[in-house]
Amino acid sequence: MVNSPPVHTFSVYCRARYGRTIGKIPLETGHPCPNRDRGGCLYCRPLSFTPQSLRPGDSLDEQIRRGKKYLLSGRFTGYFGYFQQETPTSLATSRLLPLLTSVIADPECVGLIIAARPDCIADDLPAALADLVQSSGKECLIELGLQSIHARSLQQLNRNHGVHDFFSAVRRIKTQDSLRIGVHLILGIPGETEADMLASVETVCALGVHALKLHHLQVLKDTPLHSLHTKGLVPTFSLDGYLQLLLRLLPRIPWEVVLHRLWSSAHPHLLVAPRWHLHATELSQRLQASMAEQHIRQGQDVDSVESTR
């Protein structure tokens, strides 16, 4: 326990589960997110989460080939097919499933991660995914984009779904034991206090989700959020302020919850604020150094002694 890592990151999870390094290959179905017709989320700029390996119109085979070449590049011995772009689950299950089946069939693919709006989980999707998990012997994480449990924030971000959609999605996915659930939350939504952010984190953790993806709010060029930011309406975290927040949140997140992300990392040419001029690796080193210095570990305030590592 003394030398065990202080945060249950995705790489820690993969090393424990697979005994080797596993990467993610972002993939896209080419189907647009349904929220675009309603103006899109205030902060969303697809280019910010589109890796260079993805080129419009490429087949899934080609996306995987390029992903292996440019993203795995000898550092990883397996990968998750990461359907991160847009909202893949807005496709009918009958159209989505063949795509997922073709990806998971690759021997180097250990499983799927599928991003989804909470209002885009079709009733027949969980059972179909559970069948796929069972027949392939691989894993599947559904990553629900919630961002906040607070109605005012969801409205402000133009998410066009409510927290009730999230609870309903979790309930329906949980009917299938073999599926894993992840949740994406944004920290620093204008108007939210630290107590509001903690409430979002604790509410989703209390549902027994398996993974979290936490981001600080970033303002990207030419988004509606950018316009508000130029009017001085979008305060953003300082580097130190954000690290301090993480040091207070991490002890409240159970160790079982795998942290796929702790910050955003948009490309500098798209990023307006906050500009910390720091590489993600340095960010991680600073956080871990502060955790070691202050004897902080993920889950220490909420886990029983037996449940920690």
Query: Which positions touch ligand SF4 (CB under 6 A)?
Result: 33, 35-36, 40-41, 44, 86-87, 117, 145
Q: Which is nearer to ligand SF4, 40 or 67 (CB)?
A: 40
Q: Rounded to the nearest whole angstrom, what is the least distance from the CB of residue 287 to ligand SF4 in the complex?
A: 25
Q: Which is nearer to ligand SF4, 220 or 257 (CB)?
A: 220
What does the alpha-carbon distance between residue 130 and residue 177 come to, in Å, rounded to a whole number? 8
Task: Closer to ligand SF4 by CB, 84 or 203: give it.
Answer: 84
Min CB(160)–ligand SF4 separation in Å: 8
Kindly tell me which of 133 and 170 has the beta carbon lying closer to ligand SF4. Answer: 170
Taking the complex as a whole, the smallest distance from the CB of residue 119 to ligand SF4 amounts, in Å, to 9
Rounded CA-CA distance 50/20 in Å is 26
User: Minimum distance from CB of 26 to ligand SF4 (Å)?
Assistant: 13
C-beta of 92 vs 105, nearer to ligand SF4: 92
**Closest distance of CB 34 from ligand SF4, Å:** 7
Nearest to 102 by CA among 112, 92, 117, 88: 112
Residue that has been written with the tokens 């390996």 in this structure? 53
As given in the structure block, the two tokens for residue 32 are 């647009």
Min separation Cβ 178 and ligand SF4, Å: 26
Task: Enumerate residues 6+ apart whose C-beta is below 8 A from 153.
Answer: 147, 189, 191, 192, 196
Of residues 133 and 144, the one with the C-beta less far from ligand SF4: 144
| Residue 114: CB minimum distance to ligand SF4, A | 13
| Closer residue to ligand SF4, CB minimum distance, 37 or 123 | 37
Any bridge partners for residue 144, and if so which? 116, 183
DSSP annotation of 183:
E
Q: How far is the CB of 86 from ligand SF4 (least distance, A)?
A: 5
Task: Give me 131's structure tokens.
Answer: 């069948």
Continuous H helices in the chain: 10-18, 60-67, 93-104, 125-136, 151-156, 163-173, 194-206, 224-230, 239-249, 280-293
264-267 contact pairs (CB < 8 A, 24+):
264/215, 264/216, 264/217, 264/218, 266/45, 266/48, 266/218, 266/220, 267/47, 267/48
Closer Cβ to ligand SF4, 117 or 297, answer by number:
117
Residue entry with tokens 């949140």: 249
The tokens describing 76, both together, are 């990883």
What region does 289 belong to: left with phi over 0, alpha with psi -120 to 50, or beta?
Answer: alpha
